């Protein structure tokens, strides 16, 4: 299983802490059943931490005017909204919610040039809250695609998430499906597309980051 680079340090520290705590328990409490239960719980906890930072390889098969899901999760929003930060006009917003068990790597929904990348320190409302897109800790990235124009996606921290890693820098040339960052624990990603877009998913659908085609932009 391939692991995301954001997990290396956390996994190493978790392993060290578990070893130290288990050593202390086993040397100070000579109760077989208690030691066994604690060892099993420790092993399960460590496996869950490793599982959280998995980074599966994905193959992108999309047409030039198609947009892929930036993350694994469930589609929770498909609606026209006014986007005030960058476009300052109406866009089609598509939002994907990630549970703690989903892959939390963020991938680029389209290829192109990064023309905007900004971090906002904010609140930690639950990720499905309607105001989380505007009030929570978040990063906003805009990629200018040569076929469909600029596409915005926003990494949003949830009630549990406490750190967003964003690799996008203005001027970077990026590939659709490539690693764009990581949100540590429960969170959500919003994608803002032109109004001349046909969604390829419906609310409640499950997505696979870098693989599921979520929309097709209708070209003139």
Closest by CA to 105, choosing from 218, 16, 184, is 184
CATH number given to 66-217: 2.70.70.10
Instruction: Indicate the DSSP class of residue 5.
Output: G
Q: Tokens at residue 32, please?
A: 């077989």
pLDDT at 21 over 90: no
How far apart CA 140 and CA 10 sit, in angstroms, is 25
Per residue in 159-179, pLDDT (tens digit) is: 555 578 889 999 999 999 999
Does 28 have pLDDT greater than 80?
no
Does the annotation count 187 as an active-site position? yes
Average pLDDT rounded to a whole number, residues 28-33: 74
Full-model pTM: 0.84
Any idea where the domains of the chain sit in the sequence? 5-52, 66-217
Percentage of the chain with pLDDT > 70? 90
**Phi/psi at 218 (5° precision):** -80, 120
Q: What is the pLDDT of residue 158?
A: 65
The H or E element that residue 183 is part of is: strand 179-183
Lowest-pLDDT range, 8-17, 75-84, 93-102, 132-141?
132-141
Q: Indicate the SS3 state at residue 129.
A: coil
pLDDT band at 123 (very low <50, low <70, confident <90, very high): low
Cβ atoms of residues 156 and 127 within 8 Å: yes
Residue of 111, 132, 168, 187 with catalytic role: 187
pLDDT at position 169 is 94
């Amino acid at each position: 299983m391939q692991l995301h680079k954001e997990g290396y340090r956390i996994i190493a520290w978790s392993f060290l802490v578990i070893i130290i705590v288990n050593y202390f328990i086993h040397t100070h409490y000579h109760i077989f059943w208690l030691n066994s239960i604690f060892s099993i719980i420790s092993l399960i906890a460590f496996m869950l931490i490793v599982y959280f930072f998995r980074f599966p390889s994905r193959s992108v098969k999309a047409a030039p005017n198609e947009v892929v899901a930036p993350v694994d999760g469930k589609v929770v929003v498909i609606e026209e909204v006014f986007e005030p930060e960058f476009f300052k006009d109406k866009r089609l917003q598509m939002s994907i919610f990630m549970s703690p068990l989903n892959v939390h790597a963020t991938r680029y929904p389209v290829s192109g040039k990064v023309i905007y990348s900004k971090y906002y320190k904010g609140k930690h409302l639950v990720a499905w809250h309607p105001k989380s897109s505007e009030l929570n800790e978040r990063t906003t990235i805009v990629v200018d695609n040569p076929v469909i124009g600029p596409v915005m996606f926003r990494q949003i921290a949830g009630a549990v998430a406490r750190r967003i890693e964003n690799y996008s820098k203005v001027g970077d040339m990026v590939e659709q499906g490539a690693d764009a960052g990581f949100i540590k624990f429960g969170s959500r990603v919003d994608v803002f597309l032109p109004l001349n877009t046909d969604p390829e998913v419906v609310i409640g659908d499950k997505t696979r980051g870098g693989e599921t085609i979520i929309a097709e932009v209708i070209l003139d």
